[in-house]
Amino acid sequence: MDTSDTSETGRIGETGRTEGAGEAARPVLEAPDIARALTRIAHEIVERAKGADDVVLLGIPTRGVFLARRLAGKLAEITGRSIPVGSLDITMYRDDLRLRPARALARTDIPGDGVDGRLVVLVDDVLFSGRTIRAALDALGDIGRPRAVQLAVLVDRGHRELPIRADYVGKNLPTSLRETVKVQLAEEDGRDTVLLGLKQPAASGER
């Protein structure tokens, strides 16, 4: 990620993913919309995985972990089975680590049965450049060998820099590079919403 990314997890090249959306921010998804999107994604996973028997959900910190847990709950409601869910830290796989080496590590938590031979669904809040997902794939490759890997995101805002696309999308949200997308979830932020705003102009004298 470039150094202008100020999201809590500092995603790779994902400037505008979950950073401050500014005074002009407006909601594009509210709590009921997010709930419906996750329910739809859960049904799509069950349909494509033919029952989700071997599905493992891995959330990318921070908000991807909360979304993965919610998806696991919805999948359990649909299938009547507990769905393994964990988290995957990508910090050491970032392509800008040398530029910003002082980073707090998030937690990687792999379910007890591991990922070998399983269908792993990576879960994140916003898909932007694709660099976060590239790092996640590298991290996952060091953990095990899934039979397949899929990607579920709440928002796809476009502007890909790598040939990566999501298998499951809550909302496709075309944006300009001047716009910001901020996902807020109750577990972290006290409410569920997705805000679309504009980047704040640089202070006088800054470039």
pLDDT single digits (tens) 60-108: 999 999 999 999 999 999 999 999 999 999 999 977 666 665 566 778 9
Q: pTM of the entire structure?
A: 0.85
Distance CA 114, CA 67 (A): 20
pLDDT tens-digit readout, 134-175: 999 999 999 999 999 999 999 999 999 999 999 999 999 999
Q: Which of 71-75, 108-112, 186-190 has the lowest mean pLDDT?
A: 108-112
Helix (H, G, I), strand (E, B) or coil at 12: coil
**Tokens (6 digits) for 59:** 């959330």
Which residues are CB-contacts of 11 (< 8 A; sequence separation ≥ 6)?
1, 5, 17, 18, 128, 131, 132
Q: Across the chain, what does the average pLDDT equal?
A: 87
What is the reported pLDDT for 103? 60
pLDDT at 10 exceeding the cut of 90: no
Highest CATH level, class, for 26-198: alpha beta
